[in-house]
Each structure stands twice: as structure tokens, then as C-alpha cells.
Amino acid sequence: MIELEQTGKERCVIVGVSTRLVGREETEVYLNELTLLADTAGAEVVSRISQDRDRVDAATFIGKGKVEELHELIVAQGIQLVIFDDDLTGAQNRNLEEILACKVLDRSGLILDIFAARAKTNEAKTQVELAQLQYLLPRLTRQWTHFSKQFGGIGTKGPGETQIETDRRMIRARISHLKEKLDRITQQRVTQRKGRAHHTRAALVGYTNTGKSTLLNLLSGSEVFVEDRLFATLDPTTRVVPLSPSIQILMTDTVGFIRKLPHHLVASFKSTLEEITEADLLLHVVDVSITTFEEQIKVVNDTLGELGADERPTLMVFNKIDLLKDRTILQTLAGEYPNSVFISAARGINILGLKDEALRLLETEFLEETFRIPQDQQRLISQLHTEGEVLDRTYEDNDVILKMRIRRKDKERVENLIHQK
Ligand SMILES: Nc1nc2c(ncn2[C@@H]2O[C@H](COP(=O)(O)OP(=O)(O)OP(=O)(O)O)[C@@H](O)[C@H]2O)c(=O)[nH]1
Ligand SMILES: [Mg+2]
């Protein structure tokens, strides 16, 4: 039955394929997630189609019969958009749009669209545009089909192809312009971070919609944007979080991960994500109420690996325990993940436990050291102030004695600095 109510949203159908490697159940889970993504992008999923296939069709991804079925559905239900859960090649995309006479997107294209709509700052906008153009470049043939369809007939092929070449050149030029622009922004970030080097820093990581921003709000007592949608947060937000009456740290909330996050997107968000690679501690937030949370953990770990941040000390934060009917699974998880806590950020359950565990992990990363420096070595003294937190300063004869909290990994370097003098 066709919904009569006008929602003003684009009506779409989503398509998934199960293979020997990806079972039917998994495909259904992926399609649920794709529905959420489509919703976030402002489309309304009115139907879904899935197919079992061992090999995808080179020309149309799904088989001929399925394409026909899809076409009938599009006509019958007044559908304006088809979204594939898997990435399509430029040729598949073009062929499908031609046969179906309907806009066709794949998962990466959809995610890029959401990121584009959500990007607010200059940096995020630049990062997203760069990723979009890199995604578009190998798919440019599609633009040209629209072009040729529009003007059709004799002579379109020649000028059309020239047009593609011109477009490609323009896009390449724009890509290098954006890269340079990003380099400059990255430089600013590095300077910003240097200013914060003596603070202890933690970063919230995790699958999208797991409650990272909710947790940061609770811990910092501030208002970070929270929404029951995917990718609510694109720009990193840093807040001061007190872990104990005497210890405060800086905590950064950043973009959530998702299965098949387009590679270009990860690459162009690299400077934002450096907050993660340079953090002293990662809080990996998991939505334990989702049945596929273990796969989500794997996706996050893989993405961290791609960023070179998989060796950072990590606290596994299993969130949303208020939604669990049966909490026995938590015991299993505690055994499986030695550094883990179980909380509800929304309900404020076990937040003290989380702070204790974070402190305990951080303790192993830091050392308290005492340095004795002649007072006339002002440059060295001010340099030391940027290497860590000065806990205490006393004077004896002509020396200053600094009691400092420094990172374990910096110990040797700091000692060398002092001995060189
Ligand atoms: N029931 C329950 N809901 C929670 C809990 N923590 C967060 N939520 C809800 O989960 C949704 C997502 O929360 P966010 O804090 O925006 O999640 P996020 O990880 O920052 O998401 P992105 O920025 O999109 O990656 C919101 O609707 C929150 O209210 C919890 O402990 N229990
Ligand atoms: Mg968020």
C-alpha cells in the first residue's frame, strides 16, 4: 500500500546483497543501519530489497531479474531514490540510473552526503569537499550521461568526452587547492595542540550513536550536541573533565565511526582525528544494547588501526546498560576486556567507576619526577613547563626544584634535555 501522507521527504528503496561471506542476517542488520543513514540524510525508506548472490553482476551489481523487480517497485511506489548498501562502480551506477530512470546512490555516496550537510566549520567543510571530489573523480562518466541525455543526439559524444576531461582537470585542480588549504588548517591545529601538551588528554572514540557526546556532557557539565541520529558530531569538541578533586584532563569528542566509512573521508579527516592518535588515553564507547556491538567494536578497532592509533591505552566503556533486560552478558565482557567499565551515560550510572578506571589507566602512563635546575637556566626551566604538569616548585640555594608529572614515554627525552645543559 502506498502511504498517502505527504512527508516531503525523498521516497527511497534500499538494496542489499548477501554472499557466501555476508549472510542474510548480517545483510538485514546492515540494511537496518542503512535505513538509519537514509533517515539521517532526510530520505524516507519505503521499501527494501535483498538478494543472495555469490558474485555481483559487473554491469548492474544485482541480477537482471532483480533490476526489473526494482524498476516495477519504483514505478508502483513513486520512488525517487535507490540506495545500495555496497559500493558501486561508476559504470554500475550509470547503468542502473539509465535502466531504472531514477537516482542511484551507494553507501559511501550517502555517508558523504550526510557529512556534507552536517559540516559546520571551515575545516570540516574543506575535509568533506575534498573527500567528495575524490569519490566523484572515478565516477565522472555519470555526469556526462546526464549531459548527453539532456542534449542527446548527434555530436554529443565528442564534446561530451571533452567536457569530462575539462571537468576532471577542474576537479583535480580543486583537489590540490583543498589539500593545500587543509595543510594550513592542520598547521594551526598542531600549534593549538602544542599549547595543550602539558595537559593530560583523552579522546572519546566509538561507533556512531553510541553516546560519546552524552558522556562528554555528563563528565564536563557542558552542552555538546546530542541527537539520536548518525554523525551528530563532526567537529572535535574539547572540554575540561575533572577525574578527581585534584586531577583534571582535557577530553575530546570527535566523529563517530561506521562500517565502510569511505576511505577518502578517513584520509581527509586525518587532522581532526589526530586528536585521537595523540591522546594519552582513549575511551572506546560501545552501545551494548545493540546486538551487533561486537562487530561495531571491530569496525572501530580497524579504523583506529588505519589511523595508527590502535596501540593507545584504551578503556572500553560499555554504555546504555539501562537498556539491557539481561545483564549477565556484562560478566562475560568483563572477563573478555580487562580494561572495561559498564555505564549508562544518559542515566548517570557508574560514572564514578569510569573516572576511577580512567585514572588508574592514566597512572600507568605518567610518572612523577623531580628535577633540580640552576635558576639561571631560565630557558630550560620554561621549556620544562611545556613538557608536563608542574606539581610543585621550591627553591634551594641557587636551584629550582621542580616536581613534575610527565609522560612515561617522554622521560628519557626530558632527562636528555637537562643533561645536555
Ligand atoms: N538509553 C540510553 N540512551 C543513551 C545513553 N547514552 C546515550 N544515549 C542516547 O543515544 C543517542 C546518541 O547519543 P550521542 O551522545 O549523540 O552519541 P554519539 O556517540 O555522540 O553519536 P555521533 O556524534 O552521532 O557519533 C542519543 O539519543 C542519546 O540520548 C544511555 O546510557 N542510555
Ligand atoms: Mg556525538
For residue 210 and ligand 1, the question of a CB distance below 6 A is answered with: yes
* pLDDT for residue 309: 86
Residue 29 and residue 18 in contact, taking contact as beta carbons nearer than 8 Å: no
Residue 99 and residue 67 in contact, taking contact as beta carbons nearer than 8 Å: yes
* pLDDT for residue 150: 47
For residue 208 and ligand 1, the question of a CB distance below 6 A is answered with: yes
**pLDDT tens digits for range 295-332:** 999 999 999 998 888 888 999 999 999 999 988 999 99
* Candidate of 205, 207, 209 to mutate for ligand 1, largest count of ligand atoms within 8 Å of Cβ: 209
For residue 228 and ligand 1, the question of a CB distance below 6 A is answered with: yes
Amino acid identity at 87:
D
Residue 142 and residue 204 in contact, taking contact as beta carbons nearer than 8 Å: no
* pLDDT for residue 371: 93
For residue 231 and ligand 1, the question of a CB distance below 6 A is answered with: yes
pTM: 0.81
Residue 147 in 3-state DSSP?
helix
For residue 296 and ligand 1, the question of a CB distance below 6 A is answered with: no
C-alpha to C-alpha distance for 341 and 356, rounded to whole angstroms? 10
Whole-number Å distance, alpha carbon 239 to ligand 2 midpoint, is 13
Whole-number Å distance, alpha carbon 232 to ligand 1 midpoint, is 9
Kind of pairing between the strands at 248-253 and 237-242: antiparallel
Q: Is residue 131 classed exposed, middle or buried when 0-12, 13-18 and 19+ CB atoms within 10 A define those classes?
A: buried
Whole-number Å distance, alpha carbon 223 to ligand 1 midpoint, is 13
- Show the DSSP H helices in 227-373 as ranges: 263-268, 270-277, 293-307, 328-336, 351-365
C-alpha to C-alpha distance for 369 and 345, rounded to whole angstroms? 35
Which run of H or of E encompasses 377? Answer: none
Which letter does DSSP use for residue 211 in this model? S
Residue 13 and residue 74 in contact, taking contact as beta carbons nearer than 8 Å: yes
* pLDDT for residue 421: 63
Strand partners, 48: 14
Whose atoms come closest to the Cα of 212: which ligand?
Answer: 1
For residue 315, CA distances in Å to 22, 29, 199 come to 30, 27, 19
Amino acid identity at 286:
V
Whose atoms come closest to the Cα of 40: which ligand?
Answer: 1
Residues (pLDDT < 70) of the chain are: 1-7, 141-162, 193-197, 421
* pLDDT for residue 167: 82
